[in-house]
Amino acid sequence: MFLFPTRGSVMSAYLLRRLLLIPVTLFGIILVNFVIVQFAPGGPIEQVMAEMRGTAGSATGRFSGEAQGEAIGPVRSDPTRGGESLYRGARGLDPAYIKRLEEQFHFDRPAPERFVRMVADYATFDLGESFFRGRPVLDLVLEKLPVSLSLGLWSTLIIYVVSIPLGIFKAVRDGSRFDILSSWAIIIGYAVPAFLFAVLLVVVFAGGQYLNWFPLQGLVSSDWHTLSWPERVIDYLWHMVLPVTAMVIGGFASLTLLTKNSFLDEIHKQYVVTARAKGLSEGKILRRHVFRNAMLLVIAGFPAALVSMLFTGSVLIEVIFSLDGLGLLGFESTMRRDYPVMFGTLYLFSLIGLVLALISDLTYHLVDPRIDFASRET
């Protein structure tokens, strides 16, 4: 008697395999980026030196006050480098001060040792402390997460709610005037950069030149805590209108056309012709047969769309509307070479992306239980 694995056991084994791959994938991502950063020009020590000399932005780090009062010693050089300074811009600085900077930024240790320690800390979600903000990275991320979550979730929700019905409607009426005009509209929207549309919204609706209907700064008003709960909800949505509109304007095209093409591909298959020959109505064919098969491709793109909206698509929008979120945090940390923030946010973003990809696979199975997880490649 042969024992065949049940569908539940196959799915459990698949999920276990995927869960075990998450730490391996995270390790590879962190390793590759860590190696790249070692060869990148500039660094946090060079940033402090630039601030001391007034060639960078205003000093906001812990060393700004100390740096301004630090005595400038004679020119020192590193004999192991043939007299060449270890850091660009170090000429004229006291070597003892540079050594303290190295100790503070942990650059007094070899790169492999720093990497091993970082990975060990990340295993316990200890993301370190920002070089220039003087705060734990995890606290910074949690503080700015509501802004990015608000922008990303609302934008993704609106895009999916609008694009999927629109794509189905276009597929059913393929070649009609509505299909042609709507295609032109969404392609034009896709061609307009989000930041340019955001500037237009500010000029027209946020007190720029014409109307002053919407606020231009922050996620909520300054007196939000004094408002009643209904007023808080209204105030929050009021602040979200313009930035979310700017983010979604270019997001309809790809999902709408993907939905339309998926449905067109299914509509022309043999099983749909057979269903029509049996006398089933077009509505039943779409709901019972076409929808389940066509939506698989749409669902597959959900994790990437959500991650893009959350972490990469909102940097300029956050700047224009003065929203202090994760996108702006990541951009500023990259510009200042704030490595703990850079790698901490990279670690969290990668982890969220991998988890969302796993959720996407589970959604595959919920939409169509016929999917065989045993045959899928990991």
| 100/147 same-domain check | no
Tell me: the pLDDT tens digits for 316-373? Answer: 788 888 788 887 787 788 877 788 888 888 888 888 888 877 877 777 666 666 665 5
pTM here? 0.69
Local structure of residue 63 (DSSP, 8 states)? T
| 56/104 same-domain check | yes
State the chain's mean pLDDT as an integer: 75
75-84, 194-203, 223-232: range with lowest mean pLDDT = 75-84
pLDDT confidence bin for 28, thresholds 50/70/90: very high
The domain that holds 328 is classified in CATH as 1.10.3720.10
| 172/283 same-domain check | yes
What is the percent of the chain with per-residue pLDDT over 90, rounded to a whole number? 3
- DSSP for 167-195, written as a single string: HHHHHHTTTSHHHHHHHHHHHHHHHS-HH
Query: How far is Cα 303 from Cα 371, in angstroms, rounded to an integer?
Result: 19
Number of H helices, E strands in the chain: 17, 0
Dihedral of CA atoms 204, 208, 212, 215 in degrees, nearest 10, equals 100
Query: How far is Cα 269 from Cα 60, in angstroms, rounded to an integer?
Result: 62
Tell me: the pLDDT tens digits for 51-96? Answer: 665 555 433 333 333 333 333 333 334 444 444 445 554 554 556 6
Map tokens 């704030």 to a residue. Answer: 338
46-50, 161-165, 199-203, 233-237: range with lowest mean pLDDT = 46-50
Residue 162 backbone phi and psi in degrees, to 5: -85, -45
Which of 93, 123, 153 represents a domain boundary (last residue)? Answer: 123
Query: CB–CB of 219/146 below 8 Å?
Result: yes
Quote the distance between the C-alpha of residue 269 and its chain's center. 37
Amino acid sitting at position 68:
Q
Domain that holds residue 226: 137-375
Query: How far is Cα 308 from Cα 356, in angstroms, rounded to an integer?
Result: 12
| 193/44 same-domain check | no
Q: Note the pLDDT of residue 79.
A: 40
Query: CB–CB of 133/140 below 8 Å?
Result: yes
Q: Note the pLDDT of residue 50.
A: 64
Q: Note the pLDDT of residue 374.
A: 54
Query: CB–CB of 70/97 below 8 Å?
Result: yes
| 240/294 same-domain check | yes
Tell me: the pLDDT tens digits for 262-320? Answer: 888 887 778 777 877 877 777 777 777 777 777 776 776 676 677 666 666 667 788 88
| 265/342 same-domain check | yes
Which structure tokens are listed for 270? 């043999």
3-state secondary structure of 228: coil
| 238/100 same-domain check | no
On the question of pLDDT at 30 being above 50, the answer is yes
Query: How far is Cα 102 from Cα 233, in angstroms, rounded to an integer?
Result: 47
On the question of pLDDT at 140 being above 80, the answer is yes
Q: Which long-range contacts (CB under 8 A, 24 or more apart) does 181-184 make?
A: 182/256, 183/257
Count how many domains the chain has.
2
Query: How far is Cα 29 from Cα 348, in angstroms, rounded to an integer?
Result: 11
Amino acid sitting at position 185:
A
Q: Is residue 18 part of a domain?
A: no
3-state secondary structure of 312: helix
